[in-house]
Amino acid sequence: MNIDPQNKRREDAPMPVLEAVKALGEGFATTLKHLFRRPITEEYPEEQRPLPARSRGRIVLTRDPDGEERCVACYLCSAVCPVSCISMQSAEREDGKRYARWFRINFSRCIYCGLCEEACPTCAIQLTPQFDHCKRDILDMVYEKEDLLVDHCGKNADYNFYRHAGILTRAHAKGAHPDEEAPVDVRTNLP
Amino acid sequence: MLTWLLGLLILMIKLGVVLGCLLFFAAYLVWIERKLLARLQVRIGPNRAGKFGLLQPIADAIKMLTKEDIVPQAADRMIFLLAPAIVAATALLMFAVVPFGPDIRVAGRPVAMVISDLHVGLLFVFALSSLAVYGVALGGWASNSKYSLLGGIRGAAQMISYELALGLSLVPIVMMSGSFSLVDIVNHQARYPFLLVQPVAFVIFLISAMAESKRIPFDLPEAENELGAGFHTEYSGMRFGMFFIGEYVHMQVLGALVAVFFLGGWRGPWLPPALWLMIKMLAVCLVLIWIRGTLPRLRYDQLMAIGWKVLLPAALINLWITGIVVAI
């Protein structure tokens, strides 16, 4: 027996008739009012709401501003992936730069957590706002490198890993990559 | 012999027209209901099949007809298959006594605009609505599932409970018009509709008829959220659809009966009588949809309490007062 302190009557006791009729009337008036409102439904396939750039949808492999593949096949994304849906095989180019010989993401397992994107040192793997990729056959959800690789820079338009990191390759010495700054000689900082 | 054959022919035509219209409107009532409910909830509603979703009933029918038809292994097959038919048939049969207009003359002979003007029309309606209880109870029982059985009993108890209030609310109408025939009742409303003199009976009839036809907010038999549906849990495909055809036909019957008993039936200025009846029927149906869009489903004890503690005494008091007034 709950007593409503405001009304001083049992909650399950019948309402006074007039009060009940008024409450009913209010309800009916509300729904009737809604009848003359414009529907707020979004008709999805026709009307697509733009999602924020950082939404975590389908994963792509981006290129650097020079049009080269960013991915250096370091396996960090694969290692951090909680559902192990990323796999690859690393290889080395003529000039000593690493790349992925093949790169595979099984989207039927992917949980779009974005950890791979955070782990990637070269900003290669990125999540896009495209959330609606689905296939009739589950095997079609396994994306190969050629399906993943896009020809733009994604979210980091001017980031080039090789310009920031003093990486030794067969083509260039440390700090000798195009526009790269030479590494700091730590000994010059000694007192 | 020739007159008899002609009579049979006219009857067949009337039956065909009425049944065809009923089933067609039942299908489109579903569309109207879905569309209107959507608008009450600031949604768009069905709009994929055809313009404004107008082909939706056809799409629904195709879907239900092509779905797998499951009969539980341990079910009482005969009764299981019969139950949906009972529900649909009793609802359709009620239209046999609903008058669509005054007699018209076709080729010099009078033709009644009613399939059968029974002197006990009102009792016929009650008899059929009592029979509909069998559809629900047997459907639940024949499924051979304890769950459906309980659902069937629950539904039957609800329908029987409200039948009393339903019957008693119409006794004043019978007292005032002095006849059980629906045609006579409409004829008695020539000056004013009974709604003006019997508003209490109107409210009681509307509420208990809603409960009787399992309309929201009294739709406990198919409370799909909290009870996981009742007597038709084991039904699939078109058999399940039959229950709902029955329900939507029942909704039209309800509209027609409200029109006949309280709104003056086919009477109205300018328009043809049958059209007036349809307008009144549709108006009642729209109000029912509005009620569905507004009120939440009742709890089972609330449902029983309203039936036995509110509607039945109210109907009795109304009957008593009408009796005194008529006697004076």
User: What confidence tier does A4 reach under pLDDT thresholds 50, 70, 90?
Assistant: low
pLDDT of residue A176: 78
Q: Identify which has the larger pLDDT, A8 or B248.
A: B248
Query: Which residues of chain B carry a pLDDT beneath 70?
Result: 224-228
Residue A142 has phi, psi (to 5 degrees) of -85, 115
Task: Flag whether residue A44 sits within 8 Å of chain B, measured between CB atoms.
Answer: no
| Mean pLDDT, chain A, whole residue set | 86
Q: Do B41 and A37 touch (CB under 8 A)?
A: no
Separation of alpha carbons B268 and B274, rounded Å: 10
Separation of alpha carbons B258 and B202, rounded Å: 8
Residue B171 has phi, psi (to 5 degrees) of -60, -40
Separation of alpha carbons B170 and B206, rounded Å: 11
User: What confidence tier does A9 reach under pLDDT thresholds 50, 70, 90?
Assistant: low
pLDDT of residue A2: 57
Q: Do A28 and B39 touch (CB under 8 A)?
A: no
Q: Identify which has the larger pLDDT, A4 or B13.
A: B13
ipTM for the complex? Answer: 0.78
Report chain A residues whose CB lies below 8 A from the CB of B43: 39-41
B95: DSSP letter: G
**First-residue to last-residue Cα distance in chain A:** 82
What's the pLDDT tens digit per position in A60-87?
999 988 888 999 999 999 999 999 999 9
Instruction: Using CB atoms, pick whichever of A27, A32, A34 lies closest to residue B42.
Output: A34
Q: Do A28 and B290 touch (CB under 8 A)?
A: yes
What's the pLDDT tens digit per position in B235-270?
888 888 888 888 899 899 999 999 999 988 888 888
pLDDT surpassing 60 at residue A167 = yes
What's the pLDDT tens digit per position in A117-129?
999 989 999 999 9
Question: B25 with B126: CB under 8 angstroms?
Answer: no
Separation of alpha carbons B195 and B323, rounded Å: 17
pLDDT of residue A188: 82
